Structure 1
Amino acid sequence: MNTRTKYILLISGISAFGLSIYNKYNAFTETSFNPVEFEYAKVFLGIGILCVGLYFFNKNWRNVLSKIMIGAFGICLILNLYLVAQIYESRQIQNRLSEYHELDCEKITDRFKTDLKNNNVKYFSGGLVGSGKLSQNIKKYGIENFELGCQVYNNLECYNELVRSYLRKEYRY
Protein backbone atom coordinates (compact mmCIF):
# COMPACT_ATOMS: atom_id res chain seq x y z
CA MET A 1 0.00 0.00 0.00
CA ASN A 2 1.42 3.36 -0.94
CA THR A 3 1.69 6.37 1.37
CA ARG A 4 -1.22 8.22 -0.23
CA THR A 5 -3.59 5.29 0.33
CA LYS A 6 -2.44 5.00 3.94
CA TYR A 7 -3.23 8.66 4.57
CA ILE A 8 -6.61 8.37 2.89
CA LEU A 9 -7.46 5.37 5.04
CA LEU A 10 -6.18 7.00 8.20
CA ILE A 11 -8.04 10.26 7.67
CA SER A 12 -11.30 8.66 6.54
CA GLY A 13 -11.20 6.05 9.31
CA ILE A 14 -10.52 8.55 12.08
CA SER A 15 -13.11 10.99 10.69
CA ALA A 16 -15.74 8.26 10.39
CA PHE A 17 -15.01 7.04 13.92
CA GLY A 18 -15.09 10.55 15.38
CA LEU A 19 -18.35 11.46 13.64
CA SER A 20 -19.87 8.14 14.73
CA ILE A 21 -19.16 9.03 18.34
CA TYR A 22 -20.53 12.55 17.84
CA ASN A 23 -23.69 11.21 16.21
CA LYS A 24 -24.16 8.55 18.86
CA TYR A 25 -24.56 11.21 21.52
CA ASN A 26 -26.36 13.83 19.42
CA ALA A 27 -28.65 11.95 17.02
CA PHE A 28 -30.70 10.49 19.83
CA THR A 29 -31.01 13.72 21.83
CA GLU A 30 -31.71 16.06 18.91
CA THR A 31 -33.98 13.95 16.76
CA SER A 32 -35.36 11.59 19.46
CA PHE A 33 -35.26 8.60 17.16
CA ASN A 34 -32.74 6.02 16.07
CA PRO A 35 -31.86 6.97 12.48
CA VAL A 36 -31.33 4.04 10.15
CA GLU A 37 -28.39 5.86 8.60
CA PHE A 38 -26.57 5.63 11.92
CA GLU A 39 -27.09 1.87 12.04
CA TYR A 40 -25.67 1.49 8.53
CA ALA A 41 -22.73 3.76 9.41
CA LYS A 42 -21.90 1.53 12.38
CA VAL A 43 -21.98 -1.56 10.15
CA PHE A 44 -19.63 0.01 7.59
CA LEU A 45 -17.31 1.22 10.34
CA GLY A 46 -17.21 -2.33 11.69
CA ILE A 47 -16.45 -3.71 8.23
CA GLY A 48 -13.62 -1.21 7.84
CA ILE A 49 -12.14 -2.06 11.23
CA LEU A 50 -12.41 -5.79 10.49
CA CYS A 51 -10.58 -5.26 7.20
CA VAL A 52 -7.82 -3.34 9.02
CA GLY A 53 -7.31 -6.35 11.26
CA LEU A 54 -7.34 -8.79 8.35
CA TYR A 55 -4.91 -6.61 6.42
CA PHE A 56 -2.09 -7.40 8.83
CA PHE A 57 -2.76 -11.16 8.90
CA ASN A 58 -3.30 -11.99 5.23
CA LYS A 59 -0.69 -10.63 2.83
CA ASN A 60 -2.38 -12.08 -0.27
CA TRP A 61 -5.54 -10.00 0.12
CA ARG A 62 -4.00 -6.64 1.03
CA ASN A 63 -4.90 -4.96 -2.27
CA VAL A 64 -8.55 -6.03 -2.04
CA LEU A 65 -8.77 -5.26 1.69
CA SER A 66 -7.41 -1.75 1.22
CA LYS A 67 -10.12 -1.05 -1.39
CA ILE A 68 -12.80 -2.46 0.90
CA MET A 69 -11.49 -0.30 3.76
CA ILE A 70 -11.61 2.84 1.63
CA GLY A 71 -15.15 2.03 0.54
CA ALA A 72 -16.40 1.12 4.02
CA PHE A 73 -14.83 4.10 5.76
CA GLY A 74 -15.98 6.38 2.93
CA ILE A 75 -19.60 5.22 3.14
CA CYS A 76 -19.50 5.49 6.94
CA LEU A 77 -18.12 9.01 6.65
CA ILE A 78 -20.80 10.07 4.14
CA LEU A 79 -23.62 8.64 6.29
CA ASN A 80 -22.27 10.38 9.38
CA LEU A 81 -21.93 13.69 7.55
CA TYR A 82 -25.55 13.35 6.44
CA LEU A 83 -26.59 12.83 10.06
CA VAL A 84 -24.56 15.84 11.18
CA ALA A 85 -26.49 17.94 8.65
CA GLN A 86 -29.80 16.59 10.00
CA ILE A 87 -28.76 17.32 13.59
CA TYR A 88 -27.73 20.85 12.61
CA GLU A 89 -31.08 21.46 10.92
CA SER A 90 -32.94 20.10 13.94
CA ARG A 91 -30.99 22.39 16.27
CA GLN A 92 -31.77 25.39 14.09
CA ILE A 93 -35.48 24.60 14.21
CA GLN A 94 -35.36 24.15 17.98
CA ASN A 95 -33.56 27.46 18.39
CA ARG A 96 -36.24 29.23 16.35
CA LEU A 97 -39.00 27.53 18.32
CA SER A 98 -37.45 28.43 21.66
CA GLU A 99 -37.60 32.12 20.73
CA TYR A 100 -41.39 31.87 20.40
CA HIS A 101 -42.02 29.38 23.17
CA GLU A 102 -40.68 31.74 25.84
CA LEU A 103 -42.94 34.67 24.85
CA ASP A 104 -46.33 35.30 26.43
CA CYS A 105 -49.40 36.19 24.37
CA GLU A 106 -48.80 39.95 24.56
CA LYS A 107 -45.15 39.75 23.50
CA ILE A 108 -45.93 37.24 20.79
CA THR A 109 -48.28 39.78 19.19
CA ASP A 110 -45.34 42.16 18.86
CA ARG A 111 -43.24 39.33 17.46
CA PHE A 112 -45.95 38.58 14.87
CA LYS A 113 -45.91 42.21 13.72
CA THR A 114 -42.12 42.05 13.36
CA ASP A 115 -42.35 38.76 11.45
CA LEU A 116 -45.01 40.21 9.18
CA LYS A 117 -42.78 43.18 8.34
CA ASN A 118 -39.85 40.86 7.61
CA ASN A 119 -41.96 38.40 5.55
CA ASN A 120 -41.04 35.69 8.04
CA VAL A 121 -44.44 34.50 9.31
CA LYS A 122 -44.67 31.06 10.87
CA TYR A 123 -47.44 28.68 11.81
CA PHE A 124 -47.18 26.19 14.66
CA SER A 125 -49.38 23.16 14.07
CA GLY A 126 -49.89 20.64 16.82
CA GLY A 127 -52.45 18.43 18.49
CA LEU A 128 -53.67 14.90 18.08
CA VAL A 129 -54.83 15.27 14.49
CA GLY A 130 -52.18 15.55 11.77
CA SER A 131 -51.89 18.72 9.75
CA GLY A 132 -52.35 16.99 6.40
CA LYS A 133 -51.51 19.34 3.54
CA LEU A 134 -51.31 22.41 5.76
CA SER A 135 -47.59 22.96 5.06
CA GLN A 136 -48.19 22.94 1.30
CA ASN A 137 -51.24 25.20 1.54
CA ILE A 138 -49.70 27.94 3.66
CA LYS A 139 -46.38 27.87 1.84
CA LYS A 140 -48.24 29.58 -1.04
CA TYR A 141 -48.59 32.59 1.24
CA GLY A 142 -44.94 32.57 2.35
CA ILE A 143 -45.66 31.02 5.74
CA GLU A 144 -43.43 28.33 7.22
CA ASN A 145 -45.16 25.53 9.16
CA PHE A 146 -43.58 24.01 12.27
CA GLU A 147 -45.11 20.67 13.21
CA LEU A 148 -45.04 20.23 16.97
CA GLY A 149 -46.59 16.77 17.17
CA CYS A 150 -49.11 16.28 19.97
CA GLN A 151 -47.99 19.33 21.92
CA VAL A 152 -50.14 22.46 21.98
CA TYR A 153 -48.83 25.66 23.55
CA ASN A 154 -51.16 28.53 24.48
CA ASN A 155 -48.74 31.27 23.46
CA LEU A 156 -48.18 29.65 20.07
CA GLU A 157 -51.94 29.39 19.63
CA CYS A 158 -52.05 33.17 20.11
CA TYR A 159 -49.53 33.50 17.28
CA ASN A 160 -51.52 31.07 15.13
CA GLU A 161 -54.70 33.05 15.69
CA LEU A 162 -52.90 36.17 14.47
CA VAL A 163 -51.78 34.24 11.37
CA ARG A 164 -55.33 33.01 10.73
CA SER A 165 -56.80 36.49 11.04
CA TYR A 166 -54.05 37.85 8.77
CA LEU A 167 -54.86 35.21 6.13
CA ARG A 168 -58.61 35.94 6.38
CA LYS A 169 -58.02 39.66 6.06
CA GLU A 170 -55.40 39.63 3.28
CA TYR A 171 -56.37 36.59 1.20
CA ARG A 172 -59.93 35.80 2.26
CA TYR A 173 -58.58 32.38 3.32
Structure 2
Amino acid sequence: MKPKTKYILSILVISGFALLYYNHNNELTETSFDSTELKYAKRFFGIGILCLVLYFFNKKLKNLLTKIMFGVFGISLALNLYIFPRIYESVRINKIYYEYSEIETCEEMEKRFATDLKNGEIKYFQFGIGYNVGLEKTLKEQYNIETFGMGCTIQSEKECYNKLVNEYLKKDFNKSISDIEKESDLYKLIENN
Protein backbone atom coordinates (compact mmCIF):
# COMPACT_ATOMS: atom_id res chain seq x y z
CA MET A 1 0.00 0.00 0.00
CA LYS A 2 1.35 3.43 -0.95
CA PRO A 3 2.14 5.89 1.87
CA LYS A 4 -0.51 8.35 0.60
CA THR A 5 -3.12 5.58 0.57
CA LYS A 6 -2.13 4.50 4.10
CA TYR A 7 -2.40 8.10 5.29
CA ILE A 8 -5.85 8.66 3.79
CA LEU A 9 -7.11 5.30 5.04
CA SER A 10 -5.76 6.05 8.53
CA ILE A 11 -7.60 9.37 8.59
CA LEU A 12 -10.82 7.63 7.48
CA VAL A 13 -10.46 4.94 10.16
CA ILE A 14 -9.52 7.28 13.02
CA SER A 15 -12.10 9.97 12.29
CA GLY A 16 -14.77 7.35 11.58
CA PHE A 17 -14.00 5.56 14.84
CA ALA A 18 -14.01 8.80 16.86
CA LEU A 19 -17.40 9.85 15.47
CA LEU A 20 -18.78 6.33 15.83
CA TYR A 21 -17.67 6.27 19.47
CA TYR A 22 -19.20 9.71 20.19
CA ASN A 23 -22.45 8.93 18.40
CA HIS A 24 -22.78 5.51 20.00
CA ASN A 25 -22.18 6.82 23.54
CA ASN A 26 -24.48 9.80 23.22
CA GLU A 27 -27.30 8.61 21.00
CA LEU A 28 -29.16 6.43 23.47
CA THR A 29 -28.09 8.17 26.68
CA GLU A 30 -28.72 11.75 25.54
CA THR A 31 -31.31 11.56 22.79
CA SER A 32 -33.22 8.32 23.49
CA PHE A 33 -33.44 7.35 19.85
CA ASP A 34 -31.71 4.49 18.09
CA SER A 35 -31.08 5.54 14.51
CA THR A 36 -30.82 3.20 11.57
CA GLU A 37 -27.91 5.27 10.26
CA LEU A 38 -25.80 4.47 13.35
CA LYS A 39 -26.58 0.76 13.05
CA TYR A 40 -25.41 0.77 9.42
CA ALA A 41 -22.36 2.88 10.28
CA LYS A 42 -21.33 0.25 12.86
CA ARG A 43 -21.83 -2.56 10.35
CA PHE A 44 -19.81 -0.84 7.64
CA PHE A 45 -17.05 -0.06 10.12
CA GLY A 46 -17.02 -3.72 11.19
CA ILE A 47 -16.73 -4.84 7.55
CA GLY A 48 -13.84 -2.39 7.16
CA ILE A 49 -12.04 -3.87 10.17
CA LEU A 50 -12.59 -7.38 8.80
CA CYS A 51 -11.11 -6.29 5.45
CA LEU A 52 -8.17 -4.71 7.27
CA VAL A 53 -7.43 -8.02 9.04
CA LEU A 54 -7.77 -9.95 5.79
CA TYR A 55 -5.44 -7.45 4.09
CA PHE A 56 -2.51 -8.65 6.22
CA PHE A 57 -3.18 -12.34 5.53
CA ASN A 58 -4.08 -12.44 1.84
CA LYS A 59 -1.49 -10.99 -0.56
CA LYS A 60 -3.50 -11.73 -3.68
CA LEU A 61 -6.51 -9.61 -2.71
CA LYS A 62 -4.69 -6.55 -1.30
CA ASN A 63 -5.83 -4.18 -4.09
CA LEU A 64 -9.44 -5.30 -3.87
CA LEU A 65 -9.44 -5.17 -0.06
CA THR A 66 -7.96 -1.66 -0.14
CA LYS A 67 -10.77 -0.47 -2.40
CA ILE A 68 -13.39 -2.16 -0.22
CA MET A 69 -11.87 -0.57 2.91
CA PHE A 70 -12.03 2.88 1.33
CA GLY A 71 -15.65 2.30 0.45
CA VAL A 72 -16.91 0.89 3.72
CA PHE A 73 -14.91 3.22 5.99
CA GLY A 74 -16.02 6.14 3.81
CA ILE A 75 -19.69 5.11 4.05
CA SER A 76 -19.37 4.64 7.81
CA LEU A 77 -17.82 8.08 8.18
CA ALA A 78 -20.49 9.68 5.96
CA LEU A 79 -23.30 8.09 8.01
CA ASN A 80 -21.71 9.26 11.25
CA LEU A 81 -21.28 12.77 9.88
CA TYR A 82 -24.93 12.74 8.86
CA ILE A 83 -26.24 11.97 12.37
CA PHE A 84 -23.58 13.88 14.34
CA PRO A 85 -25.28 17.34 14.22
CA ARG A 86 -28.56 15.93 15.50
CA ILE A 87 -26.87 14.09 18.36
CA TYR A 88 -24.60 17.03 19.19
CA GLU A 89 -27.59 19.40 19.38
CA SER A 90 -29.47 17.00 21.68
CA VAL A 91 -26.43 16.68 23.93
CA ARG A 92 -26.09 20.48 24.06
CA ILE A 93 -29.77 20.99 24.93
CA ASN A 94 -29.69 18.28 27.60
CA LYS A 95 -26.62 19.88 29.23
CA ILE A 96 -28.37 23.25 29.34
CA TYR A 97 -31.54 21.66 30.71
CA TYR A 98 -29.53 19.84 33.40
CA GLU A 99 -27.64 23.01 34.29
CA TYR A 100 -30.86 24.97 34.80
CA SER A 101 -32.52 22.07 36.64
CA GLU A 102 -29.81 22.30 39.29
CA ILE A 103 -30.97 25.83 40.16
CA GLU A 104 -33.59 25.50 42.88
CA THR A 105 -34.59 29.01 43.99
CA CYS A 106 -35.84 32.20 42.37
CA GLU A 107 -32.88 34.11 43.80
CA GLU A 108 -30.44 31.78 42.06
CA MET A 109 -32.47 32.10 38.83
CA GLU A 110 -32.27 35.89 39.08
CA LYS A 111 -28.48 35.65 39.30
CA ARG A 112 -28.46 33.25 36.36
CA PHE A 113 -30.68 35.56 34.32
CA ALA A 114 -28.32 38.48 34.99
CA THR A 115 -25.40 36.36 33.77
CA ASP A 116 -27.35 35.20 30.70
CA LEU A 117 -28.41 38.75 29.89
CA LYS A 118 -24.82 39.94 30.15
CA ASN A 119 -23.63 37.11 27.87
CA GLY A 120 -26.53 37.42 25.41
CA GLU A 121 -27.70 33.86 26.15
CA ILE A 122 -31.26 34.35 27.37
CA LYS A 123 -33.52 31.30 27.57
CA TYR A 124 -37.29 30.89 27.67
CA PHE A 125 -38.98 27.81 29.13
CA GLN A 126 -42.30 26.87 27.51
CA PHE A 127 -44.78 24.97 29.65
CA GLY A 128 -47.95 23.28 28.49
CA ILE A 129 -49.29 20.44 26.41
CA GLY A 130 -48.29 21.85 23.04
CA TYR A 131 -45.00 23.40 22.06
CA ASN A 132 -45.38 26.71 20.22
CA VAL A 133 -42.95 26.46 17.32
CA GLY A 134 -43.95 29.90 16.06
CA LEU A 135 -43.03 31.44 19.41
CA GLU A 136 -39.71 29.61 19.39
CA LYS A 137 -38.91 30.88 15.90
CA THR A 138 -39.90 34.48 16.70
CA LEU A 139 -37.97 34.56 19.97
CA LYS A 140 -34.85 33.16 18.32
CA GLU A 141 -34.91 35.26 15.15
CA GLN A 142 -36.06 38.60 16.53
CA TYR A 143 -34.86 38.59 20.15
CA ASN A 144 -32.02 36.01 20.22
CA ILE A 145 -33.77 34.00 22.96
CA GLU A 146 -33.44 30.22 22.93
CA THR A 147 -36.62 28.31 23.83
CA PHE A 148 -36.93 25.00 25.68
CA GLY A 149 -40.08 22.84 25.84
CA MET A 150 -40.65 21.72 29.41
CA GLY A 151 -43.89 19.77 29.14
CA CYS A 152 -46.94 20.14 31.36
CA THR A 153 -45.36 20.30 34.80
CA ILE A 154 -44.70 23.93 35.69
CA GLN A 155 -41.45 24.46 37.58
CA SER A 156 -41.55 27.54 39.79
CA GLU A 157 -37.88 28.47 39.50
CA LYS A 158 -38.09 28.42 35.71
CA GLU A 159 -41.26 30.49 35.89
CA CYS A 160 -39.22 33.05 37.87
CA TYR A 161 -36.72 33.11 35.01
CA ASN A 162 -39.56 33.49 32.48
CA LYS A 163 -40.94 36.48 34.42
CA LEU A 164 -37.52 38.13 34.15
CA VAL A 165 -37.49 37.43 30.41
CA ASN A 166 -40.93 39.00 30.14
CA GLU A 167 -39.78 42.09 32.08
CA TYR A 168 -36.70 42.34 29.84
CA LEU A 169 -38.84 42.20 26.70
CA LYS A 170 -41.26 44.82 28.03
CA LYS A 171 -38.42 47.13 29.03
CA ASP A 172 -36.25 46.78 25.90
CA PHE A 173 -38.82 46.00 23.19
CA ASN A 174 -42.12 47.15 24.68
CA LYS A 175 -43.61 43.67 24.14
CA SER A 176 -44.56 40.82 26.43
CA ILE A 177 -44.32 37.10 25.81
CA SER A 178 -48.09 36.99 25.26
CA ASP A 179 -47.79 39.78 22.63
CA ILE A 180 -45.05 37.85 20.86
CA GLU A 181 -47.07 34.63 21.16
CA LYS A 182 -50.07 36.29 19.50
CA GLU A 183 -47.83 37.67 16.76
CA SER A 184 -46.25 34.27 16.19
CA ASP A 185 -49.71 32.64 15.96
CA LEU A 186 -50.76 35.33 13.50
CA TYR A 187 -47.49 34.80 11.64
CA LYS A 188 -48.23 31.06 11.49
CA LEU A 189 -51.71 31.69 10.10
CA ILE A 190 -50.36 34.04 7.40
CA GLU A 191 -47.62 31.57 6.50
CA ASN A 192 -50.11 28.70 6.13
CA ASN A 193 -52.45 30.67 3.81
TM-score (norm 2): 0.68
- Map of 1:34-53 to 2, 5 A cutoff? 34-52=34-52
**Native 8 Å contact 2:26 2:91 kept in 1:** no
Q: Secondary structure at the match of 1:133?
A: helix
- Give the Cα–Cα distance (whole angstroms) in 1 for the partners of residues 85 and 144 of structure 2: 24
CA distances 1:2-40 after superposition (whole Å, capped 9, x unpaired)? 344245435533553454344323321122211333123
Change (3 A) 1:165 1:36: farther
Shift of 1:64: 3.4
Q: Tell me, what secondary structure is at the counterpart of 1:124?
A: strand
Give the equivalent residue in structure 2 for 1:137: 138
How is 1:54-65 mapped onto 2 (pairs within 5 angstroms)? Answer: 55=55, 56-57=57-58, 59=60, 62-65=62-65
- The size of the alignment, in residue pairs, is 172
Give the corresponding residue for 1:94. 94
CA contact (8 A) 1:27 1:83 kept: no
Task: State the shift of 1:158 in Å.
Answer: 1.9
- Which residue pairs with 2:163 in the alignment? 161
User: CA 1:149–1:50 in structure 2 vs 1: closer, same or farther (change >3 Å)?
Assistant: farther
Change (3 A) 1:166 1:39: same
1:45-72 CA-to-partner distances (Å, cap 9, x unmatched) read 133234446655582x543331221121
* Cα separation, partners in 2 of 1:150 and 1:45, compared to 1, 3 Å: farther
Name which of structure 1's ranges 6-15 and 120-129 shifts more when overlaid on structure 2: 6-15
Higher relative contact order (CA 8 A, sep 6+): 1
Aligned equivalents of 2:153, 2:65: Cα separation in 1: 51
Q: Letter of the 1:5 partner, please give it.
A: T
Runs (5+) with no aligned partner, structure 2? 180-193
What aligned pairs does 1:7-18 form with structure 2 within 5 A after superposition? 7-10=7-10, 12-13=12-13, 15-17=15-17
Query: What is the RMSD computed on CA atoms of the aligned residues?
Result: 3.1
Q: Aligned partners of 1:119, 1:90: CA distance in 2, in Å? A: 21
Q: Gapped runs of 5+ residues in structure 1? A: none
* 1:54-93 equivalences in 2 (<5 Å): 55=55, 56-57=57-58, 59=60, 62-80=62-80, 83=83, 86-93=86-93
One-letter code of the match for 1:105?
C
Counterpart CA distance in 2 for 1:98 and 1:121 is 16
Partner residue in 2 for 1:127: 128
Q: What code does the residue aligned with 1:158 have?
A: C
Quick check: 1:135–1:145 contact (8 Å CA) kept in 2? yes
